[in-house]
Chains A and B, each alone.
Chain A
Amino acid sequence: MPSPQAPTGTTPSGLRHSRDTLRRLTVGAALLAAAGSAAPYTATLTPAAPQEIYLQVGVGAFTNNYINGGQPQVNATVNTVSATLAVGVVGNGTAQAMTTNSTAAQSYWDGYTFCTVPAQLYIGGFFRTTGATTAAAQVTATVPANLTDTTGDSIPFSQISWTSGGNGDTTANGFLPEVFPGGKFVSGGVQTVGSMASNTWNESCWTFSYANTVVTAAGTYTGAVLYTMTAP
């Protein structure tokens, strides 16, 4: 296992610190983008053996924060993002906010309270090589055609979309646009939802909503989306 690492890279600029100056200054994080440029919140990692990738969607697991030498773990939990519609609004075209049972508010990068739960779902991770810069790792979502209930009814997954944000992320401090941007599910498809450059940690918080544009049979509809991170 690699030794505990601290982020390295370019010297943090004052502009980039405006998101959370204390957080970044105290940990000495270095940010990839130059001051004034638009870039998502991304921190550089020190290359180390072995090459490693970590993907977290919802709750995750680390032995400690990464900047304190923490090592990634598997968390077998599968979080749920859900919406329960009120009587009288079914199919009225008013989008319904979805919430998550994920409790992941803090980043395992440095413990910063990045996401707001239960409104937001954390997505993040890292791609670390042994040294050389490589092509970025891609993160995709494999989406079923429909959410289904136990009696054969269905709702297209395309009824679900998301926006992306994170505490402290603003255009002014250069942490926007998000590395995992907002989007909408493509029913029955595989779609790219973000990427991670080699030797970086990346994270965003997703807020999902149900479009509610179709009148659907009563029931509890479920479906699972598989997120896959692939590094070259």
Chain B
Amino acid sequence: MKTSIVLKSLLGTAALTLPLIASAASTFTSGGGTLTATATVNFTVVIPQFLYLRVGTGSAYATGTLATGGSTDLITFSPAVGAVGNGTAVAGVGGDLAGGIETAAILGNGGNVTLVAGVTGALSDGAGDSISFTQITTAAAANAEATLLAAPPLTDTTSSETVPATNKIVKADAKWTFSYSNTVTPAAGTYGGSAGNNGIVTYTATML
């Protein structure tokens, strides 16, 4: 009986000094010896899904500014007289980086991205003559991000490529240099330059 009383006493002491470890915002403990009280706080960060595409003039994505805006740039190729169709590539004029060069960037946080380059047909002069978009090449060079953004080759319909994500993040960019291959001899004229003459390339990024 005496032993039992001692045991009860010890148990009582232990109960008083047991730390409260259940989740709570406030707890208290009392008694002798070391005392422990705990409180738990949950932390939540909600990250929205976003997809950013820039080709040409646009916001300063490299410094964190992701915004809709800018204008549609015009790049013009003008082969010299005597050089038409001679196979020597012709550099362009225009583009946000000048010299037929455009800034291109894709940033997203929802997985792989498909980039499509679409046109409504071959470049037209409005008089029945045309130049295939395959005459315009796009070379990608490194820009601000670590991942190079390759350019989908231009055709007279659509072309696409997948930009792979790492841990669902896509951060890729490049300087796209457009050139005119000049391997054909078309009729004299001004081709493209407007939507009516199929002169617009529309780039579309889609998060998969």
Pick from A86, A93, A216, A232 the residue with the most CB of B within 10 Å. Answer: A216
A73 near B26: Cβ-Cβ < 8 Å: yes
Closest to B63 in A: A92
The interface residues of chain B lying within 8 Å CB-to-CB of A50 are 16, 30-32
A75 near B49: Cβ-Cβ < 8 Å: no
- Minimum CB–CB distance from A111 to chain B (whole Å) comes to 16
B25 near A75: Cβ-Cβ < 8 Å: yes
- Per-position binary interface string of chain A over residues 52-87, scored 1 when its CB falls under 8 Å from any chain B CB and 0 otherwise: 111111111100000000001111111111111111
Closest to B171 in A: A215
**17 CB < 8 A contacts A-B:** A50-B16, A58-B26, A78-B41, A81-B44, A83-B46, A88-B66, A88-B67, A98-B43, A104-B25, A121-B41, A147-B45, A218-B48, A221-B45, A225-B40, A227-B40, A230-B34, A232-B34
Name the interface residues of B28-58: CB closer than 8 Å to any CB of A.
28-32, 34-50
Closest to A108 in B: B26
Is the interface on chain B under 10, 10 to 19, 20 to 34, or 35 or more residues?
35 or more
B40 near A218: Cβ-Cβ < 8 Å: no
- Minimum CB–CB distance from B172 to chain A (whole Å) comes to 12
A-B contact count (CB 8 A): 202
Pick from A55, A121, A159, A221 the residue with the most CB of B within 10 Å. Answer: A55
The interface residues of chain B lying within 8 Å CB-to-CB of A217 are 47, 109-111, 167-169
A82 near B24: Cβ-Cβ < 8 Å: no
Kindly state whether residue B22 has any CB partner on chain A within 8 Å. yes
The distance in angstroms between the C-alpha atoms of A78 and B28, with both chains bound, is 15
With A55-B38, A82-B46, A218-B49 as known contacts, state yes or no: A73 contacts B107, CB within 8 Å. no
